Chain A
């Protein structure tokens, strides 16, 4: 494993006209690491994702990706650098088939349609949706649409993938499958940061957990350390 961090976030803050959504958040992510990002509703998890993926410009602090300052870059620039994301509420291309959705992702690295199709077929197979390739994306189940978003993000050949609640609303079998999928992403050497409320999905596979509360980082450690951290317990259960 490479020792220089893939992602280094330093003192990141984001405020929306006085409402502070993120304050002074610092952490690093190494190549291939699985990071769980948890916290109560409104803790600032999605805002942090939006800052990392270029959808928000941070109010303070800096973000370095592979040693390069990427603070305030655009989403398309972040994607080109190798930061991919999924959306909490799925945003699939309704007018396209499942395969075509993934092809759009693959086109970031190869504009040739035939090559993009090949790549997309491989990613659909990776998430287990090969049999649904020709189906209109809008006709897929919610669980399938979430996997489709993962395939689409992976098709951009990222080094870091941001997964926003990919396990929400899934049944226990599907949660296990989703955990296995995240692990297989790790085996490809791709780091992931996973926002998740489904603890049984994230705790067994995460190498490290970050906990946010009221926009600030309150804990950073292994899942076992986090489970016993008094501040985390207080945040979740109330004092």
Chain B
């Protein structure tokens, strides 16, 4: 890439960030601010998923397990030891990393669809275990204490502080993803996705780099889970460990464009918007319509644009006069058995 496009990209990123930082000045209605927070949360999860599912091409449909670990770890540390989520969330992230290593070791022996199916199974098992755990209050769920507040405890009365914490978490996640994309690890991930045997012949250990991808993704996803707990102040298996959570996380990235840094951000804007409108349209329960929407989106993406909305935009630009082809599409979703 030339320095020209580099500076232009940096300027665009700075502009986008400034816009996001100033947005709450225009959007003051709490319910609308909440909607923006949901987009930031979805984007953060999508960017985190993209590290393993997009760049490294290992499609996980069990990311709720890391989300749930983050939510339960920080909440349990707060309830039992009185630890602030500033400590609890990173600890939850480390627990998620350990879980990712234990889960990845056997699951990465499976390829393609079989790996995806194994991740669903693992997430389902954890959901059942937590639902039946007395320690974690089972299906009743955990409620965060109301007697604390402020930045030190990440509990706020208004929506605005949550907005900025969510934005900070998204920026952190994007920076992590960006650093990986630019380093040798990012190149190795793409090599593993494209041609695993050729990658091995060049000295790339598949197990090692897949585990790195899953661990980083798990850590960041767990941070997202802790944030959810702090924002909602209540968690149960249905809200943080459900299969629909896993599918939503994957879909955000796939919809926006896998293997592209900001693809999932675009995916989150689209998916969360549709979700919220359908909620007002079909009533507040939404759990049934959610799944219908996800299924429809999956079919649309699979049929019309396997490289997501970003890929679609790239195709359009290429067909316009003056829009030359720059590089191969890094984001193409390829189903390889």
- Which residues of A line the B interface, CB within 8 A? 53, 55, 74-76, 79-80, 84-85, 87, 91-97, 100, 103-105, 107-108, 111-113, 116, 134, 136-139, 152-153, 156
A107-B184, A113-B184, A137-B328 known; A95 vs B194 contact (CB < 8 Å): yes
A100-B187, A107-B184 known; A95 vs B198 contact (CB < 8 Å): no
A138 CB contacts on chain B under 8 angstroms:
328
- Name B178-211 residues within 8 Å CB distance of A: 182-184, 187-188, 190-191, 193-195, 197-205
Q: Is the interface of A mostly helix, strand, loop or mixed?
A: mixed
B259 within 8 A of A: yes
B194 CB contacts on chain A under 8 angstroms:
92-96
A111 CB contacts on chain B under 8 angstroms:
183-184
Do A84 and B201 touch (CB < 8 A)? yes
For the complex formed, measure the closest distance between the CB of A5 and the CB atoms of chain B, giving whole angstroms.
23
A74, B202: Cα distance in complex, Å: 11
A75, B183: Cα distance in complex, Å: 23
Do B182 and A53 touch (CB < 8 A)? no
Do B184 and A97 touch (CB < 8 A)? no
Neighbour of B325 across the interface among A80, A84, A136, CB < 8 A: A136
Neighbour of A74 across the interface among B184, B187, B193, B200, CB < 8 A: B200
A94 CB contacts on chain B under 8 angstroms:
194-195, 328
For the complex formed, measure the closest distance between the CB of A53 and the CB atoms of chain B, giving whole angstroms.
6
Q: What are the interface flags for B8-21 relative to A under an 8 Å C-beta threshold, 1 for contact and 0 otherwise?
A: 00000000000000
B332 within 8 A of A: yes
A95 CB contacts on chain B under 8 angstroms:
190, 193-194, 259, 328-330, 332
Neighbour of A96 across the interface among B190, B204, B325, B332, CB < 8 A: B190
- Which residues of B line the A interface, CB within 8 A? 182-184, 187-188, 190-191, 193-195, 197-205, 259, 325, 327-330, 332
Q: Enumerate the 10 nearest inter-chain pairs by beta-carbon distance, A residue then B residue, closest first.
A: A136-B328, A79-B203, A91-B198, A108-B203, A75-B200, A93-B194, A91-B195, A111-B184, A107-B184, A95-B330
Do A87 and B184 touch (CB < 8 A)? no
Do A103 and B187 touch (CB < 8 A)? yes
Neighbour of A76 across the interface among B195, B200, B330, CB < 8 A: B200
A100 CB contacts on chain B under 8 angstroms:
187
A95-B193, A95-B328, A113-B183 known; A53 vs B199 contact (CB < 8 Å): no
B329 CB contacts on chain A under 8 angstroms:
95
A105 CB contacts on chain B under 8 angstroms:
202
Question: Given A53-B201, A107-B202, A134-B327, 4 other A-B contacts at CB below 8 A?
Answer: A96-B327, A107-B188, A113-B184, A116-B184
Do B328 and A108 touch (CB < 8 A)? no
Do A96 and B184 touch (CB < 8 A)? no
Neighbour of A93 across the interface among B191, B205, B325, CB < 8 A: B191
Do A80 and B203 touch (CB < 8 A)? yes
**Listed A/B pairs (26) with beta-carbon separation below 8 Å:** A55-B197, A76-B205, A84-B201, A87-B198, A87-B201, A93-B191, A93-B198, A95-B190, A95-B194, A95-B329, A95-B330, A96-B190, A97-B328, A103-B187, A104-B191, A104-B202, A107-B188, A107-B202, A108-B202, A111-B183, A112-B184, A113-B183, A116-B184, A116-B187, A137-B328, A139-B328
Residue on A with the closest CB to B1? A134
A68, B327: Cα distance in complex, Å: 42
**By CB atoms of chain A within 10 A, which of B190, B202, B205, B332 has the most?**
B202
A80, B204: Cα distance in complex, Å: 9
Do A93 and B203 touch (CB < 8 A)? no
A220, B309: Cα distance in complex, Å: 58
**By CB atoms of chain A within 10 A, which of B187, B199, B201, B329 has the most?**
B201
Do B201 and A85 touch (CB < 8 A)? yes
For the complex formed, measure the closest distance between the CB of B198 and the CB atoms of chain A, giving whole angstroms.
4
A108, B191: Cα distance in complex, Å: 13
Neighbour of B195 across the interface among A55, A93, A116, A136, CB < 8 A: A93
A80, B200: Cα distance in complex, Å: 10
A95-B329, A136-B328, A137-B328 known; A156 vs B202 contact (CB < 8 Å): yes
**By CB atoms of chain B within 10 A, which of A84, A100, A153 has the most?**
A100
A113, B184: Cα distance in complex, Å: 6
For the complex formed, measure the closest distance between the CB of B229 and the CB atoms of chain A, giving whole angstroms.
37
**By CB atoms of chain A within 10 A, which of B184, B204, B327 has the most?**
B184
For the complex formed, measure the closest distance between the CB of B307 and the CB atoms of chain A, giving whole angstroms.
10
A84, B259: Cα distance in complex, Å: 28
For the complex formed, measure the closest distance between the CB of A49 and the CB atoms of chain B, giving whole angstroms.
11
For the complex formed, measure the closest distance between the CB of A171 and the CB atoms of chain B, giving whole angstroms.
25
For the complex formed, measure the closest distance between the CB of A19 and the CB atoms of chain B, giving whole angstroms.
21
A103, B202: Cα distance in complex, Å: 10
Do A156 and B193 touch (CB < 8 A)? no
Do B187 and A107 touch (CB < 8 A)? yes
A153, B205: Cα distance in complex, Å: 16
Do A104 and B193 touch (CB < 8 A)? no
Do A79 and B201 touch (CB < 8 A)? yes
Residue on A with the closest CB to B195? A91
Do B197 and A87 touch (CB < 8 A)? yes
A113, B180: Cα distance in complex, Å: 11
